């Protein structure tokens, strides 16, 4: 695998193919329902089926494939992770939180529906993720399903994503130093990215060394992803990113770019991606998709 392959049309096509398969899985897991409660299901579908890079599903499906997990099984777990990611976006976008009108180039859920429906749609997606993982179709072995459930709950709860969002909203937010925003990233986005990679190892019943390598890879990748996000917030434009830009810097928030400068932030992201790729050495050519995902994260423009 050459570094050039990362930005090649071929890789983006592979990623899009996984995204489409996971979107089909989400579509099947969340069928529309009639009656007045159908509105919350419609909002859940709007939140989940609106496109997006589907990075977390790609990481999960690619990790699982290294351990010969059947693709249909991995896609169900990937859909559960994506439900959690999408619920967090719906709630983060609420007027009570970040008050965002635009997401993936479309009105956010509370704008397309209303605030109450958006709260409920997030709650519904969060709940449904665990229903999917508890189902025998996600993994035949009960112990595997329980490890997935426990891992997803840890990554997305008060010691993970929810805790990170709380830091992001805290009064101390603007004064965080590099260690502080690194910790914020590790909780708010890192924990779920790490779980996405580890879930493949759980499904494949991989050994502890393989799992540890994936945890290391995901930690580097997740941090690089956030640094690039901060760079795009400064450098990107709304048309290619699909949401408003310049918000964090305008709000005076401490970001990796604000603390490191553009050049050093870009260098750091590149270094992390290279290290992430080296963590995959033990897997050999099987790790090709994860290697390309790391390069994609660094080179993305949206």
C-alpha dist (Å) from residue 24 to 17, 110, 243: 11, 24, 24
Q: How far apart are CA 279 and CA 137, in angstroms?
A: 31
Structure tokens at 169: 């909203």
Least separation, in Å, of the C-beta of 254 and a copy of itself? 12
Does position 75 bind a copy of itself by CB under 8 A? no
Q: How far apart are CA 216 and CA 228, in angstroms?
A: 19
Q: Given the rule CB under 8 A, which of 18-26, 66-74, 129-137, 267-275 is the region that contacts a copy of itself?
A: 129-137
- On whether the CB atoms of residues 155 and 165 are closer than 8 A, the answer is no
Q: Which helix (H) or strand (E) holds 106?
A: strand 106-107
Least separation, in Å, of the C-beta of 211 and a copy of itself? 18
Least separation, in Å, of the C-beta of 172 and a copy of itself? 5
Residue closer to a copy of itself by CB (options 41, 277) is 41
Q: Given the rule CB under 8 A, which of 137-145, 215-223, 236-244, 265-273 is the region that contacts a copy of itself?
A: 137-145
Does position 170 bind a copy of itself by CB under 8 A? yes
Does position 120 bind a copy of itself by CB under 8 A? yes
Least separation, in Å, of the C-beta of 127 and a copy of itself? 4
List beta partners, residue 107.
Answer: 102
C-alpha dist (Å) from residue 258 to 147, 178, 213, 253: 38, 10, 31, 8
Does position 97 bind a copy of itself by CB under 8 A? yes
Q: Which of 300, 292, 295 is nearest to 11 (CA)?
A: 292
Does position 251 bind a copy of itself by CB under 8 A? no
Does position 115 bind a copy of itself by CB under 8 A? yes
The count of other CB atoms within 10 Å of the CB of residue 106 is 15
Q: Which of 195, 242, 241, 259 is nearest to 221 (CA)?
A: 195
Residue closer to a copy of itself by CB (options 106, 183) is 183
Residue closer to a copy of itself by CB (options 50, 122) is 122
Q: How far apart are CA 175 and CA 101, in angstroms?
A: 27
Does position 247 bind a copy of itself by CB under 8 A? no
Q: Given the rule CB under 8 A, which of 48-56, 144-152, 261-269, 280-288 is the region that contacts a copy of itself?
A: 144-152
Q: How far apart are CA 6 and CA 292, in angstroms?
A: 5
Can you tell me which of 52, 122, 222, 236 binds a copy of itself, judged by CB under 8 A?
122
Q: Which 24-63 residues touch a copy of itself, going by CB under 8 A? A: 33, 35-37, 39-41, 44
Does position 6 bind a copy of itself by CB under 8 A? no
Residue with tokens 């400064």: 234
Residue with tokens 């408003």: 244
Residue closer to a copy of itself by CB (options 175, 263) is 175
Structure tokens at 137: 């179709």
Does position 162 bind a copy of itself by CB under 8 A? yes
- Strand, coil or helix: what is 168? helix
Residue closer to a copy of itself by CB (options 147, 300) is 147
- On whether the CB atoms of residues 26 and 19 are closer than 8 A, the answer is no
Does position 149 bind a copy of itself by CB under 8 A? yes
**Binding residues vs a copy of itself (CB under 8 A):** 33, 35-37, 39-41, 44, 87, 91, 94-97, 114-120, 122-124, 126-128, 130-131, 134-135, 142-143, 145-146, 149-150, 153-154, 156-159, 162-167, 169-173, 187
């Amino acid at each position: 695998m050459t570094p050039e392959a990362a930005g090649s049309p071929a890789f983006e096509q592979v990623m899009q193919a996984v995204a489409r398969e996971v979107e089909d899985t989400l579509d099947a897991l969340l069928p529309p329902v009639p009656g007045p409660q159908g509105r919350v299901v419609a909002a859940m579908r709007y939140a989940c089926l609106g496109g997006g890079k589907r990075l977390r599903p790609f990481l999960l499906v690619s990790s699982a494939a290294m351990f010969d997990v059947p693709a249909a099984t991995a896609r169900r777990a990937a859909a559960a992770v994506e439900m959690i990611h999408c619920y967090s976006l719906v709630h983060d976008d609420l007027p009570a939180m970040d008050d965002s009108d635009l997401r993936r180039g479309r009105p956010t859920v509370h704008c397309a529906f209303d605030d109450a429906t958006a709260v409920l749609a997030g709650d519904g997606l969060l709940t449904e993720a665990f229903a999917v993982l508890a189902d025998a179709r996600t993994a035949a072995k009960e112990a595997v399903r329980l490890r997935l459930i426990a891992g997803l709950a840890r990554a997305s709860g008060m010691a993970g994503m929810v805790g990170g969002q709380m830091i992001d909203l805290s009064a101390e937010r603007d004064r965080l130093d590099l260690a502080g925003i690194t910790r914020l990233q590790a909780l708010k986005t890192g924990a779920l990215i790490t779980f996405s990679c580890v879930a493949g190892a759980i499904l494949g019943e991989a050994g502890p060394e393989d799992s540890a390598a994936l945890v290391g890879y995901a930690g580097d990748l997740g941090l690089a992803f956030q640094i690039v996000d901060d760079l795009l917030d400064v450098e990107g434009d709304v048309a290619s990113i699909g949401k408003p830009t310049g918000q964090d810097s305008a709000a005076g928030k401490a970001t990796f770019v604000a603390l490191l400068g553009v050049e050093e932030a870009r260098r750091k992201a590149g270094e992390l991606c290279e290290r992430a790729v080296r963590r995959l050495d033990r897997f050999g050519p099987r790790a090709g998709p994860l290697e390309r995902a790391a390069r994609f994260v660094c080179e993305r423009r949206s």
